[in-house]
Structure formats: C-alpha cells, structure tokens
C-alpha cells in the first residue's frame, strides 16, 4: 500500500525572513525544528530571481547548499507577489533554513532592497 499524505489538525505556523541586498543573496536563519517548509509568500517587490536554500540539519551554524536528488541546486522559479507551494517532504528533517536569491546554477542574485518573505510551516504527516 502506498503512503499518502493525510491532513490532520496541526500546529501550522509561519515565519518571516528578510533576504538582504548583500551579494550572497541570503536571508537570516529561521529555526524550523519539528515543522517543515510548505509554502513561501514572496515580497511584493522581489527582484527577479529563483529562490534556493541553505540548511543545517543539526542546528549548528554550518549551513550548506540544498540539492535535489538529481544533484541540482534546489531552486524554485518565482516573482514578486506570488505564493509558491512546496512539497513538505523535501524539507523534512531540516532544523535551520536560509533562503537564497539565486540562479538555477546556484549563483547569488542580490536583491534591490531588503525583501521580507513569509514561510508557511506545517507538520509533515504520512499515513501508516
């Protein structure tokens, strides 16, 4: 029998991060322990770039680029005033997360000004 995602009452939450104008295109870190990333609400003034991720699985200050299972930088195309729905399974197990404004090849894209981005966080639940 295949495993299905099933909704249940949960402690859904959100967090806001700011992607800076620095050349590295990074946001501040957010602790998502016990939850997983399921959506991103982009700033109304987002400078055209993909959104990528750096993460820590052990809660330390060591952050690493996040790759997909094919070995590519994990990035999503986006633009201003958009909500991007994500597969929460991809982000399960991460404790600390930073967003990166970047190209699909992982090159940083500086934002024109500091941009507030809202992260939708939820529990990741699978059927038994």
Q: For the whole model, what pTM was predicted? A: 0.83
- The answer to whether residue 6 scores a pLDDT higher than 90 is no
From its phi and psi, is residue 70 left (phi > 0), alpha (psi between -120 and 50) or beta? alpha
Catalogue all structural domains in the chain, each as residue range(s) with its CATH number: 14-119 (2.60.120)
| Closest by CA position to 89, among listed 37, 14, 33, 32 | 37
User: For 112-122, how does the pLDDT look when each residue is reduced to its tens digit (9 = 90+)?
Assistant: 999 999 999 98
């Amino acid at each position: 029998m295949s495993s299905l995602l099933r909704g249940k009452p949960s402690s859904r939450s959100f967090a806001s991060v700011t992607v800076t104008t620095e050349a590295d295109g990074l946001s501040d870190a957010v602790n998502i322990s016990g939850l997983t990333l399921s959506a991103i609400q982009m700033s109304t003034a987002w400078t055209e770039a993909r959104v990528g991720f750096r993460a820590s699985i052990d809660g330390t200050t060591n952050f690493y680029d996040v790759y997909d299972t094919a070995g590519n930088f994990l990035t999503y195309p986006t633009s201003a005033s958009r909500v991007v729905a994500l597969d929460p399974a991809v982000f399960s197990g991460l404790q600390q997360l930073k967003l990166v404004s970047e190209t699909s090849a992982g090159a940083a894209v500086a934002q024109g000004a500091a941009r507030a981005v809202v992260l939708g966080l939820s529990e990741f639940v699978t059927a038994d």
